[in-house]
Homo-oligomer: A and B are copies of this chain.
Amino acid sequence: MNSLDSQQKKELLDRLARIEGQVRGVSRMIEEDRYCVDILAQVNAARNALKKVGLKVLDSHIQGCVRTALREREDGQIIEELLRVIEKFTD
């Protein structure tokens, strides 16, 4: 169970479809022997797009699961888990 509504899911799935396309684009650039610097620009574009997806999921997690747990005072572990996930995300 997560806290994504159907509008958010659709938006994330659209973004992820574009990222798949970007990753496939990197493969094609390698096969076509394109210049490394251009390949790196495409790799960076995909990484940044994935970061945005991650931030949107994190947003929804905090607005949903974390908020609910805190309001119901059942937040024994959820903040600990949130902090671990933020730490990983900033690596």
Contacts and interface: CB of A to CB of B under 8 A. Distances in A.
A89 B67 CA distance: 21
The count of identical subunits is 4
Contacts of A19: 23
Nearest to A27: B16
- Which of A9, A39, A73: most chain B CB closer than 10 A? A39
Contacts of A44: 54, 88-89, 91
Interface in A35-82: 35-37, 39-41, 43-44, 46-48, 50-51, 53-55, 57-67, 70-71, 73, 75, 79, 81-82
Interface of A: 1-4, 9, 12-13, 16-17, 19-20, 23-24, 26-27, 30-31, 33-37, 39-41, 43-44, 46-48, 50-51, 53-55, 57-67, 70-71, 73, 75, 79, 81-83, 85-91
